[in-house]
Amino acid sequence: MNHRFITVGILPVAIALASLGTEPVAVQSNPSAAKTTGAGAVWTAPRTADGQPDLQGIWDFRTITPLERPRSLGDKAFFTAEEAASFEKDENTRQNRDLIDPKVGGLNYPAGGVIPYNEVWYDRGDKVVKTRRTSLIVDPPNGRLPPYTPEGQKKADRRAKEGRDTQLGHPIADSWEDRPLQERCIMGLNAGPPMTPGPYNNNVQLFQSPGYVVVFTEMVHDARIIPLDGRPHLSIRQWRGDSRGHWEGDTLVVETNNFKRETSLPGSSANTHLIERFTRTDPDTLLYEFTVDDPTTWTRPWTAQVPMSRSDQPIYEFACHEGNYAMPGILAGARADEKAAVKGTK
Amino acid sequence: MPVRLQRAFIAVAIATAATIPLFANLIASKAQVSQARRTADGKADLNGIWQALNTANWDLQQHAAQAGQVVALGAVGAVPAGLGVVEGNEIPYLPDAAAKKKENFDRRLTADPEVKCYLPGVPRATYMPYPFQIVQTPNYILMAYEYAGATRTIHMDKAPPSPADSWMGHSVGRWQGDTLVVDVTSLNDQTWFDRAGNFHSDALHVIERYTPLGPDALTYEATIEDPNVFSRPWKVSMPLYRRLEKNAQLLEFKCVEFVEELMYGHLRKQPGK
């Protein structure tokens, strides 16, 4: 991990979901922890002192596999090794911010806009997921988000327009409330729930103590402490919702609802019921799967899989709010634009 | 004071005053100490949700009750009295630093980093009027604080070198009998010890000691060394109490949204301007 950002505010970037794996491992849609290795022995997840499957460690979820399968790939759910190498080569070129001419545009940057971060800031990884799936979404089977509801569509259209305005240097910023939660340092870009690979700080550490699992994401120093004792959900709403966990065999299942406004997924609603599944599939892989049931936004539930790789790198402090020079800059810029516009009309 | 400043301050003050837990039967005995809860690896079991029950966050030193700084808050914003948590009650400031402390006190309404929802640093995180949770594993101990969702990881087995100074510092722990001893370094100079302006430099070194006092209480001690600010090391100590509510859990106190009007309100679009 070459680039870590310790005390940097999040700048306004339209983020494509992306992330990393190393060696390809075949993983089933509903994985079981017991797995046959090449030698024919069955691998079983190690246990904690109190007998739970041990999910602990620092896990790296960088990848350039997109959330949605590119339309050009049609029904193709998996790459061959050669196709994966070729996709990686093309995608790493396409994603490289230093190769995008602002006059021409590229990725989600419109022509004539600004490329706010150059390539040195990114740590998205440069590999497809080790399953070699062509998308993180595994259901619907076409690897694409299901159709929006009318309300979801309206929000998506508005978001697309706002994204274009931002990239063209005119963000909507009457106040901070017009800016995404990530720019306000209330939520991390990728911290979830659910965790989704993003541009940098794709690291999470899992802790287990009797009765709890903690999902501790580097961004934005978020420790989600999940009780496993079957207690009822809260009757209040929180930004990260309210998570409760239980074991199904060797899989940790975490159910979250009571979101305050949205999940970390762009366009989602407070009405989301989220199910996350964590399964060790080999000594160096944690398979993370999540199902989003948000009937306000999408016409059916959908599921994505992110195989995470064991990392030997420590988690650092991401003090986002404390270093948020971007927010006063964005707001002051918008006020300066207004002044200039008034002068221009006089 | 501008209305927006008052509003934001009221939000912080009310939120911090609203967490008074109930405690009972916390009298410890020698017998209980020897029966301290143990983890599977035989260490003292510090797992749980803990909270200080004192007014150290208002002022580490002994202090009488006093009016708050926001008139509109009345008794709600007043400072509760406290016996103090500093051993010997004296904080041994160097002369220049003593002047700086006084200046901080005078400017505390705007200068205390807590007003801006900044990460609290160590040891302040421990005695803020919010619970925190210890998640203990053999190799790492996670400390998660309700205030601002602050977190720190204590490295128990092997500690990588600290890459840079940070708000919550770099923590390396070891066991001395049933006491968890934590060495905290690499702290930046942006945090305070309390709302009274007690402060430090980036040379701060904190040695914390967490010792079971019974099944539902710990003794917390923090030795403070900072040769740029203090003439000698000094120490705070206090009990921490287990939150015994059956459904106890940390709730969100993501206070950024409570301070945005205070910090950015002057940059809001003003209709008609």
This model of the complex carries an ipTM of: 0.88
Decide if A6 touches B, using CB distance below 8 A.
Answer: yes
CB contact under 8 A, B142 and A214: yes
Structural domains of chain B ordered from first start: 3-267 (2.40.128.20)
B25 pLDDT exceeds 50? no
Say what the pLDDT of residue B35 is. 63
For residues A216 and A102, give the distance between their C-alpha atoms in angstroms, rounded to a whole number. Answer: 37
Decide if B272 touches A, using CB distance below 8 A.
Answer: no
Which of the four pLDDT bands, split at 50, 70 and 90, describes residue B228? very high
Q: Residue B47: beta bridge partners?
A: none
Rounded to the nearest angstrom, the minimum Cα separation between B158 and chain A is 11
A177, A181, A207: best to mutate for the B interface, most B CBs within 10 A: A207
For residues A61 and A125, give the distance between their C-alpha atoms in angstroms, rounded to a whole number. Answer: 9
B271 pLDDT exceeds 90? no
Query: Quick check: B82 and B174 in contact, CB under 8 A?
Result: no
Query: Quick check: A278 and A252 in contact, CB under 8 A?
Result: yes
Rounded to the nearest angstrom, the minimum Cα separation between B120 and chain A is 11
Q: B 124-143 residues with CB below 8 A of A?
A: 133, 135-137, 140, 142
**What DSSP state is assigned to residue B72?**
G
CB contact under 8 A, B119 and A184: no
Task: Find, among B243, B245, B246, the residue nearest to B53 by Cα.
Answer: B243
Phi, psi of B136 (to 5 degrees): -105, 125
- pLDDT tens sequence across A88-129: 999 999 999 999 999 999 888 889 888 888 999 999 999 999
CB contact under 8 A, B119 and A207: no
The mean per-residue pLDDT over the stretch B119-145 comes to: 98
CB contact under 8 A, B118 and A322: yes
Decide if B38 touches A, using CB distance below 8 A.
Answer: no
On chain A, the residues whose CB falls within 8 A of the CB of B167 are 7, 317, 319, 322
User: Strand locations in A29-87, DSSP E?
Assistant: 35-36, 42-43, 57-60
Who among A173, A208, A222 is closest to B137 (CB)?
A208
Say what the pLDDT of residue B6 is. 46
DSSP assignment of chain B, as one string? --HHHHHHHHHHHHHHHT-----------HHHHHT--B-TTSSB---EEEEE-SSTTT-SS-B--B--S-GGGGGGGPBPPB---BTTS---B-HHHHHHHHHHHHTHHHH-GGGGT----TTHHHHSSS-EEEEE-SSEEEEEESBTT-EEEEE-S--PPP-S-BSS-EEEEEEETTEEEEEEE-B-S--BSSTT--B--TT-EEEEEEEEEETTEEEEEEEEE-TTTBSS-EEEEEEEEE---TT-----B-THHHHHHHHHGGGS--TT-
- pLDDT tens sequence across B255-266: 999 999 999 999
B103 pLDDT exceeds 60? yes
Which of the four pLDDT bands, split at 50, 70 and 90, describes residue B2? very low
Which of the four pLDDT bands, split at 50, 70 and 90, describes residue A217? very high
What residues does each domain of chain A span? 45-324
Which of the four pLDDT bands, split at 50, 70 and 90, describes residue B270? confident
- The size of the A-B interface in CB pairs under 8 A is 108
For the record, the structure tokens of A98 come out as: 């230093």
CA B173 to chain centre: 18
Say what the pLDDT of residue B24 is. 36
A303 pLDDT exceeds 80? yes
Amino acid at A132: R
Global pTM reads: 0.88
On chain B, the residues whose CB falls within 8 A of the CB of A214 are 135, 142, 144
Decide if B14 touches A, using CB distance below 8 A.
Answer: no
The mean per-residue pLDDT over the stretch A220-241 comes to: 96
The mean per-residue pLDDT over the stretch A279-285 comes to: 96
B4, B37, B151: best to mutate for the A interface, most A CBs within 10 A: B151
Decide if B161 touches A, using CB distance below 8 A.
Answer: no
For residues B69 and B261, give the distance between their C-alpha atoms in angstroms, rounded to a whole number. Answer: 19
A39 pLDDT exceeds 70? no
CB contact under 8 A, A315 and B153: yes
CB contact under 8 A, A331 and B267: yes
For the record, the structure tokens of A94 come out as: 């396409």
Integer CA distances (angstroms), B109 to B5, B65, B69, B230, in order:
10, 17, 7, 24
Decide if A334 touches B, using CB distance below 8 A.
Answer: yes
Decide if B24 touches A, using CB distance below 8 A.
Answer: no
Decide if A273 touches B, using CB distance below 8 A.
Answer: no
For the record, the structure tokens of A58 come out as: 């620092």
B5 pLDDT exceeds 70? no
On chain A, the residues whose CB falls within 8 A of the CB of B155 are 314
Say what the pLDDT of residue A93 is. 95
Say what the pLDDT of residue A52 is. 96
A278 pLDDT exceeds 50? yes
Helix (H) or strand (E) run with residue A339 in it: helix A326-345
**What DSSP state is assigned to residue A63?**
B
Rounded to the nearest angstrom, the minimum Cα separation between A204 and chain B is 13
Task: Find, among B89, B70, B87, the residue nearest to B79 by Cα.
Answer: B70
Say what the pLDDT of residue A195 is. 97
B159 pLDDT exceeds 60? yes
Integer CA distances (angstroms), A322 to A317, B171, B196, B201, in order:
11, 20, 21, 17
Amino acid at B230: F
CB contact under 8 A, A50 and B40: yes
Say what the pLDDT of residue A266 is. 86
Q: Which residue of A has its CA nearest to B40?
A: A49
A55 pLDDT exceeds 80? yes
Integer CA distances (angstroms), B147 to A135, B77, B81, B212, in order:
38, 18, 22, 24
Query: Is the dihedral angle over the CA atoms A214, A54, B208, A219 positive or is it negative?
Result: negative
| Choice among A22-26, A105-109, B71-75 with the minimum mean pLDDT | A22-26
